[in-house]
Amino acid sequence: MNKKENAKVINIASIKAACKDCNLRELCLPLGLGEPDLTALDKVIRRRRTLRKGEQLYRLGDPLKSLYAVRSGTLKTTGLMEDGRVQVTGFHLAGELLGIDAINTDQHPCSAEALETSEVCEIPYIALEELAHQVPGLQHQLFRVMSREIVEDERLLMMLGRMNAEERLASCLLSFSRRHERLGVNGAAFKLSMSRQDLGDYLGLALETVSRLFSRFQEEGLIEVQGRHVHLRDNDRLHAIAGGNGNSRSHAQRN
Amino acid sequence: MNKKENAKVINIASIKAACKDCNLRELCLPLGLGEPDLTALDKVIRRRRTLRKGEQLYRLGDPLKSLYAVRSGTLKTTGLMEDGRVQVTGFHLAGELLGIDAINTDQHPCSAEALETSEVCEIPYIALEELAHQVPGLQHQLFRVMSREIVEDERLLMMLGRMNAEERLASCLLSFSRRHERLGVNGAAFKLSMSRQDLGDYLGLALETVSRLFSRFQEEGLIEVQGRHVHLRDNDRLHAIAGGNGNSRSHAQRN
DNA sequence: AACAGGCAATGACGTCCATCAATCCCATCT
DNA sequence: AGATGGGATTGATGGACGTCATTGCCTGTT
């Protein structure tokens, strides 16, 4: 398709779209809000911003100005060690909120980068907090979203601390599948927007290990892989592996 | 000192103590609140609860009723895999808030257990949310505290995903040190309230590895250990190790 | 077409840490 | 004091995964 025209169409659409006619309404901050509150929220949301692949939304150390809701595309957030080691702390799909970890110190403790062309809604934080004060439903939803972020991080903690490589990848693939379904897309077949390196940095593995695992999963009939295209073939077995009932020896020896 | 009398004194003190004369005022939810708001918060906080070592504050799957502020002692929160593997998601000292990960689904996704005799303030969640709506300062502080929890989890993610064993322990010890200082206690020497197993479950290591590391750190003059008593002897080198500049070969090979 | 360059797949090898197992220490109770 | 039991230490061994290196694939550019 023609790129220039396509870009123009997206722009026009994005300028007009407001929370109240956004298809992500039920997955994002507006959840549970009524008509008048939605209008108020729309007034607070400053603008849509489009990021190209590789572009950064904010950088580690940047002062907190806004939170961002992902409207389309995917972003990753990455923490950095002094010596350059990277930990991806999350992949963020449409409907998810970015930047809440900056509220604590008014500084972003990690960077956010688009993995593909992505759109985000910018929500100035001061205004959001102010509005949350006036709209209890919004306050409630904000608490929930922040809590969800914590739960998500805890799931990842479990993966990194207590799962082996194959359990981590199985778990990760199933998570992607679930989230795609939540967005109304087919959860069994999807395209990964991140590189093997990114996946490794997320799962605490070397990219080679991730690559080998993809191959092995394919050999074992769990999935089909073709570069970044993944097709889940045996959800039951994937679940068994992710839950710790893979064919490898059990780790549980606590009486 | 006489244990019985001491216990009695603490009890009497704790019954009377309210947020407005709590010495943790500046570390906990009341931060930034004025006199009248503090009184309102005190009305919401239902009661003090004392937990003995090993007692559980809530269990995985319990419905969310209250959040808890640690007043004294230490608790751990643990996630559980189906096959019994444990991940400690945090150690919680005085002034820290527990249970916010339950807001998302109104169910606790992990269990909380006292590592020593501990006191917590119970804060019914519904009432807290209601009050936060009326008191902007409280709402603000709640957002901050939740955000801090996320940052804390992200730090741990970095540890589990990208640090080796010695870096994890050094980092962990320094974190304890910092938090003790925040409480006005000497940060260089403290008593661990958790077992080696707990530390291992937190750091994603086997308890034997933790034990060996303690011994090695001692040999190298970084710390002194005597069971659960730890004395930090060389903060600079500990920092160097925790930051990834230990004597082990550098991990950074990203150009 | 041919080329370049980034990403992915695969192999060989080494190492860090888990596992298994045997003491050892220490606090508590009788 | 002696007994008891949970925690901690220490050693030996093996395996999972990181590291290094090569080759292959795919996309976009000239």
Give pLDDT tens digits for A70-85.
Answer: 999 999 999 999 999 9
Contacts of B107 in chain A (CB under 8 A): none
pLDDT reading at A11 higher than 70: no
Give the CA B206 to C1' D2 distance in Å.
34
Q: List Cα–Cα distances, A210 to A195, A215, A237, in angstroms.
A: 10, 9, 18
The DSSP H or E segment spanning B242 is helix B235-242
Note which residues in 220-239 of chain A have CB less than 8 A from chain B.
Answer: none
What percentage of chain B reaches a pLDDT higher than 70? 89
Give the CA A206 to C1' D24 distance in Å.
20
Region B182-198 average pLDDT: 95
Better-scored residue on pLDDT, A53 or A250: A53
Of A132, A143, A161, the CB nearest to B103: A143
Strands A118-124 and A66-72 turn out to be antiparallel
Distance from the Cα of B25 to chain A's closest Cα (Å) equals 17
Confidence class of residue A15 from pLDDT cuts 50, 70 and 90?
A: low
Q: Could you tell me if A193 lies within 8 Å of chain B, comparing CB atoms?
A: no
B171: CB within 7 A of chain C nucleic strand: no
CA distance B231 to B194: 16
Lowest mean pLDDT among A147-151, A161-165, B23-27, B113-117: B23-27
Contacts of A102 in chain B (CB under 8 A): 147
CA distance A55 to B1: 62
Cβ-based contacts under 8 A for chains A and B: 171
Better-scored residue on pLDDT, B12 or B222: B222
pLDDT reading at A245 higher than 90: no
pLDDT reading at A255 higher than 70: no
What pLDDT digit, counting tens, does each position of B98-116 carry?
Answer: 999 999 999 999 999 999 9
CA distance A109 to A107: 6
Distance from the Cα of B7 to chain A's closest Cα (Å) equals 35
pLDDT for position B47 = 77
- The closest nt to B167, taking CA to C1', is C16
pLDDT reading at A121 higher than 50: yes
Please answer whether residues A201 and A88 qualify as being in contact, where contact means their C-beta atoms are separated by less than 8 angstroms. yes
**What residues have CB less than 8 Å from A255, skipping those under 6 apart?**
none
pTM of the model: 0.91
Note which residues in 106-145 of chain B have CB less than 8 A from chain A.
Answer: 109-110, 129, 132-133, 136, 139-140, 142-144
Which CATH class name applies to A165-242? mainly alpha
Contact: A85, B162; criterion CB under 8 Å: yes
Confidence class of residue B48 from pLDDT cuts 50, 70 and 90?
A: confident
Give me the CATH code for the A3-159 domain, please.
2.60.120.10
Give the CA B172 to C1' C8 distance in Å.
36
Of A153, A169, A207, which to mutate for an interface test with B (greatest number of B Cβ within 10 Å)?
A153
Where are the domains positioned within chain B? 3-159, 165-242
CA distance A157 to A151: 10
Distance from the Cα of A116 to chain B's closest Cα (Å) equals 22
Residue type, B240: A
